[in-house]
Structure 1
Amino acid sequence: MGLEERLPNGILLASLEKLVNWGRKNSLWPATFGLACCAIEMMTTGGPRYDIARFGMERFSATPRQADLMIVAGRVTNKMAPVLRQIYDQMAEPKWVLAMGVCASSGGMFNNYAVVQGVDHVVPVDMYLPGCPPRPEMLLDSILKLHAKIQDEPINAKRAALRAERGDRTELVASSVKFAKK
């Protein structure tokens, strides 16, 4: 009852783009950038109760050269913004950024001169995760949505331009809806 029995003559066909994106999706290593209370929730996601290892992400990288996903958890101050940008620039391509929490997304309740009003002023953000602080389940859900986005991403500039011209976007469905019992 394995995969071999379901395939005709043991042949499996897929496009190179699908295979490359499948590999990228299943080998995300996060570069942690925990700055405030959201970092506690991010660390909890790595623990045994929520087990981020089932997505191949158990290795939170301390070095940006070995990471593809930057999780910015918490408020970014003006003093920390150049450091964040430097770490982002040191990450290898392709790279993704997840803004975790309302402080990283929009500055939160800290509307003053010292806090950047959204990490998207410093680095391009692929996924925003709301909440103060967001629960580990919400982080796992946003990672699953990021996986769907990576899976549908074109791997060359020509296909990316065509897709943007057509206005195609990946439909991001909440995990509670996508995996609900029917």
Structure 2
Amino acid sequence: MYIFDTIMNRMRRGCQTMPYPKGPAPALPDRHGGALRLDASACPAGCAECIAACPVSAITREPDQAARLDLGRCLFCGDCVEVCPSGAITRTDDHRLAVRHREDLILGEPGKEELRLAAALDGKMKSLLGRSLRLRQVSAGGCGACEADINVLGTIGWDLGRFGIQYVASPRHADGVLITGPVTKGMELALQKTWEAVPEPRIAIALGACAISGGPFVGQAQHNGGADPIIPIDLYIPGCPPHPLTILDGFLRLLDRLEDNKHNEAEPLKILKVDNP
């Protein structure tokens, strides 16, 4: 009887999984704001308002040089957007943030006003993985926020398993590691051993500002400033924490499961620019 009631209830509720990526992506909440854009040419000479406002020194400016914004260190708090007098830094409301190379997260240099979004794995890796991806998640000293949004992807609305992507309990069963946290000294050896236990060929994904650069803990001696000094990273997904849509976009981009990922990697993908509120 209980089984019959459960089946009938599920039939009445119907499919609740979002249509993305075949349908439109859900809108980001207002407080998120999406990726940032930096138009360094619009920065007034000598202005340092955004630099002073940034809590993690993600914005820098050398003498006689354009301002630079490191989205790998950025917490996306929006303080720089609020204080910028010229609107040089703007929110884009774009969920796409994943890149393949660390330097692609640094904006402001000539020709680097927009993100160069992640290209897919090479043909050999794609053929080995097929249409699946098994990841061993390693929480290397994080606060739990990135881990929470990773778990959200397993809920009924997202259903990460429909893409053939799963988290596994053992690195022996994994295709790669998914790293969160700044890699504290106490977790350094654990991460190394986990990485070595993953069969080759393997991939590594750094998720969140902490795993990319140390995040709000940058400069502290108790961690390694992210996963880069420990293992080679194949995909960077910035945020504090990244929105689940941003995480899913990064995974699918790596597996070449998105239409806009068919572009040439040498060509930067334009991201939506909206007026500064």
1:84 aligns with 2:191: yes
The residue type equivalent to 1:105 in the other structure is: I
Counterpart of 1:145 in structure 2 is 253
Counterpart of 1:119 in structure 2 is 227
- Tell me the SS of whatever aligns to 1:32: strand
Counterpart of 2:45 in structure 1 is none
- Tell me the SS of whatever aligns to 1:120: coil
Counterpart of 2:54 in structure 1 is none
Offset at 1:48?
1.4
Q: Say if 1:173 and 1:49 are closer, same or farther in 2 by CA, change over 3 A.
A: farther
1:94 aligns with 2:212: no
- Tell me the SS of whatever aligns to 1:31: strand
Asked if structure 2 preserves the Cα contact closer than 8 Å seen for 1:145 and 1:173, the reply is no
- Tell me the SS of whatever aligns to 1:128: strand
Alignment of 1:49-60 (within 5 A): 49-58=157-166, 60=167
1:24 aligns with 2:126: no
1:69 aligns with 2:176: yes
Q: How far apart, in 2, do the equivalents of 1:125 and 1:30 lie?
A: 14
Q: How far apart, in 1, do the equivalents of 2:228 and 2:267 lie?
A: 20
Offset at 1:170?
4.1
The residue type equivalent to 1:27 in the other structure is: S
Asked if structure 1 preserves the Cα contact closer than 8 Å seen for 2:177 and 2:203, the reply is yes
Structure with the higher helix share, 1 or 2: 1
Over alpha carbons, which structure has the higher Rg? 2
The residue type equivalent to 2:184 in the other structure is: T
Q: 1:104 aligns with which of 193, 211, 224?
A: 211
Greater Cα shift, 20-29 or 100-109:
20-29
Q: Say if 1:64 and 1:172 are closer, same or farther in 2 by CA, change over 3 A.
A: farther
Q: Say if 1:79 and 1:148 are closer, same or farther in 2 by CA, change over 3 A.
A: same
Q: Say if 1:28 and 1:171 are closer, same or farther in 2 by CA, change over 3 A.
A: farther
Q: How far apart, in 2, do the equivalents of 1:172 and 1:94 lie?
A: 27
What's the TM-score once normalised by structure 1's chain length? Answer: 0.68
What's the TM-score once normalised by structure 2's chain length? Answer: 0.46
1:27-76 alpha-carbon deviations (Å, 9 max, x no partner) = 21111113432111111112212111121113x11100000121102221
Offset at 1:126?
0.3
**Coordinate RMSD, CA, aligned:** 2.6
- How many residues are paired up? 140
Any unmatched runs of 5+ in structure 2? 1-121, 258-263, 273-277
Offset at 1:78?
1.1
Counterpart of 1:6 in structure 2 is none
Greater Cα shift, 49-58 or 140-149:
140-149
Q: How far apart, in 2, do the equivalents of 1:96 and 1:38 lie?
A: 19
The residue type equivalent to 2:222 in the other structure is: A
Counterpart of 2:154 in structure 1 is 46
